[in-house]
């Protein structure tokens, strides 16, 4: 599949998806959101792909926000549809994927860019990264999950300050808040992301998929997280990964989940 605004590369079981609009600081528009959805959907179906790294091209920005020119003249109805479609196509879609997605935040992650990073399963950042949700300065609020995911990650009070103030925080503050897991020099960012991805590749992909579902359930008001965990735990017993994992443990060898 050929894409206009994204690049895809593979290194064994790890896929890297790069948003490639450097002249726009990788800003998200409808085409880019659709392309990301299509690429991630294909990778999630591909059993040989175990982890996805999502990043931006260049050294300035992960994603500097949404492409404002695209929706500056939208009506109330059009604005609501824009947010709804974005949730379904990309932001909520990533969160629910079985394949873990690591956001490698290589610069500015603002507005929709930070919302995209927060939809990923976890985040690593370069030392020069800057993050924020400045939508109130445009007469808007975050519309791609920012008002929900940011409080979950850093707490209500800090999220209120970031969203209502509309300012940015640096990578060190983001790590202190728990918004990102690790911060490194920019030249080491992808190495770190690949290291973390490689570690995950050693584990059961089926168990990882069930773990993602169970963790997400704890943040869904319509689900009982404990019940979701119990159900997912039970389902693990019916997988070939469980058989391989326990057999390997008893045989005192490393498990091989590559062909499970």
| Phi, psi torsion values for 147, nearest 5 degrees | -70, -15
Find tokens 């490698």 and name the residue. 104
For residue 14, the surrounding DSSP H or E stretch is strand 14-19
* 149: its two tokens: 């995911």
Between the two ends of the chain, the Cα-to-Cα distance in Å is 26
CA distance 169 to 130: 6
What is the number of other CB atoms lying within 10 angstroms of the CB of residue 127?
Answer: 14
User: Helices 205-217 and 240-250 sit at what angle, rounded to 10 degrees?
Assistant: 110
Closest listed residue to residue 185, CA positions, set 114, 124, 132:
124
Residues annotated as catalytic (active site), given as ranges = 115, 135
Question: How many Å apart are CA 41 and CA 46, to the nearest integer?
Answer: 9
């Amino acid at each position: 599949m050929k894409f206009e605004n994204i690049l895809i590369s593979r290194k064994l079981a790890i896929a890297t998806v790069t948003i490639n609009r450097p002249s726009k600081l990788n800003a998200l528009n409808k085409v880019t959101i659709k392309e990301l959805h299509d690429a991630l959907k294909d990778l999630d179906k591909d059993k040989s792909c175990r982890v996805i790294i999502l990043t931006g091209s260049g050294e300035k920005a992960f994603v500097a926000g949404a492409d404002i020119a695209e929706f500056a003249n939208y009506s109330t109805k059009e604005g609501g549809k824009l947010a709804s479609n974005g949730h379904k196509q990309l932001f909520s879609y990533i969160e629910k994927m079985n394949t873990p997605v690591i956001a490698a935040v290589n610069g500015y992650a603002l507005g929709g860019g930070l919302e995209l990073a927060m939809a990923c399963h976890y985040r690593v950042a370069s030392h020069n990264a800057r993050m924020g949700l400045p939508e109130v300065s445009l007469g808007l609020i975050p519309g791609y999950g920012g008002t929900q995911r940011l409080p979950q990650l850093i707490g209500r009070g800090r999220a209120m300050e970031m969203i209502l103030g509309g300012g940015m925080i640096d990578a060190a503050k983001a790590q202190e808040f728990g918004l990102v897991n690790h911060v490194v020099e920019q030249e080491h960012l992808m190495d770190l992301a690949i290291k973390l991805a490689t570690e995950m590749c050693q584990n059961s992909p089926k168990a990882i998929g069930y773990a993602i579902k169970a963790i997400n359930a704890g943040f869904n008001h319509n689900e009982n997280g404990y019940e979701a965990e119990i159900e997912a735990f039970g389902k693990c017993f019916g997988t070939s990964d469980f058989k391989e994992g326990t057999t390997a443990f008893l045989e005192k060898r490393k498990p091989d989940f590559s062909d499970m």
